[in-house]
């Protein structure tokens, strides 16, 4: 199985777009997305210095645009991706690129959202001096206890041995003065305490805009960085994209889901390196490919051919599918089992996992065509549970 991932803020480096823009098609597409974003992304990706592209309102649109255009270089026709990619995931702002890749939102919608997200987060960050520090190593329980002691948020949980703390500069200074045992602290070059309550004003702004965004259910399973669940409802994807602005990124749970899915290869979109580095440490035996420059495209396509097998969501002929968001035991709701037609939002059952119990609903409703699981069945992330056909006003 092939999983494609998109990096978050901090992955950008000065000049990283230079070799890509030698391709006139790539350059033209960046020009178009620059118009949508209201920024000269070609300039920022080639000539701007590190301090300039560290600016949240520049870095975020630059990263999302790069991922979107590079995806078209890798998969010139969407069907190529649908037939190869088993799942998509994005770290922080990378989730917008992943959502567009899954066809939940358009590239233009993604660019408007990331433009406003970046501006709003920059404004929120300017209210109070805040920052983020990576904590490498140490005992996980001790690290989390130290963060709680200093009032810090574990804003990014990136897997074994890497948690990113976020909060005020005073809180981070106190942590640096008394770090957890056997842990190394590395301040990050970001402009604020992202994915914490400090970003709550930005959530409201983006949420208001999102009310006017039309969505589609993902064509490729999307692994949410909120909790690692596989999401197959477009409205839920958008809701999570908005909410994650002020909520921690649980990349560790995304990695767990990739394991449950049976991932064999992970390809990271440019500017690549961060997420494949994490995967190499956390997912032993899984091959990785960091797509950094266009001269790697042929090798990247070969990597996709080697690991790609598409997904059940693409190969199963159906109007609408309800899928499992996580690994666990499925418990069927008795009323849903006896129904021929389900109203939108009807509970069809729940999935009990080692972490939690997740209620499953038929978000759009419809006529029951076929149950694909039985009560008590073990299910995996992204596994189809129920096939529905839209009826009446539900369609």
DSSP 51-79: HHHHSHHHHHHHHHHHHHHHHHHH-SSHH
DSSP SS3 for 271: coil
Q: CA triplet 375, 381, 387: central angle to 5 degrees?
A: 55
55, 60, 62, 63: CA torsion to nearest 10: 130
Nearest to 324 by CA among 267, 258, 379: 379
Residues catalogued as catalytic = 92, 195
If one counts every other C-beta atom within 10 angstroms of the C-beta of residue 317, the result is 5
C-alpha dihedral sign at 157, 162, 166, 170 = positive
Measure the CA–CA gap between 348 and 342, rounded to whole angstroms.
9
Q: Which of 46, 64, 49 is nearest to 9 (CA)?
A: 64
Q: Are residues 244 and 60 in contact, defined by beta-carbon separation less than 8 angstroms?
A: no
Report whether 161 contacts 281 (CB < 8 A). Answer: yes
Edge to edge, the sheet with strand 346-352 lists 357-362, 346-352, 328-332, 378-379
Nearest to 203 by CA among 241, 245, 161, 237: 245
Question: How far is the CA of 345 from the CAs of 115, 361, 381, in angstroms?
Answer: 32, 5, 20
Task: Give the count of beta carbons closer than 10 Å to the beta carbon of residue 358.
Answer: 16
């Amino acid at each position: 199985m092939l999983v494609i991932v998109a990096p978050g803020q901090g992955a950008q480096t000065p000049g990283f777009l230079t070799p890509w823009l030698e391709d006139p098609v790539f350059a033209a597409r960046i020009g178009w997305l620059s118009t949508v974003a209201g920024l000269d992304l070609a300039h920022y990706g080639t000539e701007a210095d590190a301090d300039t592209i560290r600016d949240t309102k520049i870095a975020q649109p630059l990263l999302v645009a790069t991922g979107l255009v590079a995806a078209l270089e890798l998969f010139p026709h969407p069907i190529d991706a649908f037939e190869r990619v088993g799942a998509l995931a994005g770290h922080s702002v990378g989730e917008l690129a992943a959502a567009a890749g899954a066809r939940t939102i358009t590239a233009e919608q993604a660019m408007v959202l990331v433009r406003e997200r970046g501006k709003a987060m920059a404004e929120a960050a300017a209210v109070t001096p805040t920052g983020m520090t990576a904590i490498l190593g140490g005992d996980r329980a001790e690290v989390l206890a130290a963060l709680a002691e200093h009032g810090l948020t574990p804003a990014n949980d990136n897997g074994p041995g890497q948690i990113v703390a976020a909060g005020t500069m005073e809180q981070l200074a106190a942590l640096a003065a008394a770090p957890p045992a056997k842990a190394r602290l590395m301040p990050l070059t970001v402009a604020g305490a992202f994915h914490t309550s400090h970003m709550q004003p930005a959530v409201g702004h983006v949420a208001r805009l999102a009310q006017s965004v039309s969505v589609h259910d993902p064509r490729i399973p999307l692994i949410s960085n909120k909790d690692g669940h596989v999401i197959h409802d477009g409205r839920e994807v958008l809701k999570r994209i908005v909410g994650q602005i002020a909520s921690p990124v649980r990349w560790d749970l995304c990695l767990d889901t990739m394991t449950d899915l049976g991932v064999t290869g992970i390809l990271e979109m440019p500017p690549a390196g961060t997420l494949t580095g994490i995967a190499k440490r956390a997912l032993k035996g899984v091959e990785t490919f960091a797509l950094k420059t266009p001269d790697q495209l042929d090798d990247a396509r070969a990597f996709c051919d080697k690991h790609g097998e598409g997904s059940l969501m693409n190969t199963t002929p159906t109007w609408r599918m309800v899928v499992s968001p996580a690994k666990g035991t499925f418990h069927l709701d008795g009323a849903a089992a006896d129904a021929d037609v389900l109203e939108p939002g009807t509970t069809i059952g729940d999935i009990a996992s080692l972490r939690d119990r997740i209620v499953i609903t038929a978000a759009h409703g419809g006529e029951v065509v076929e149950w694909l699981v039985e009560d008590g069945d073990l299910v995996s992330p992204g596994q189809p549970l129920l096939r529905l056909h839209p009826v009446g006003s539900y369609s």
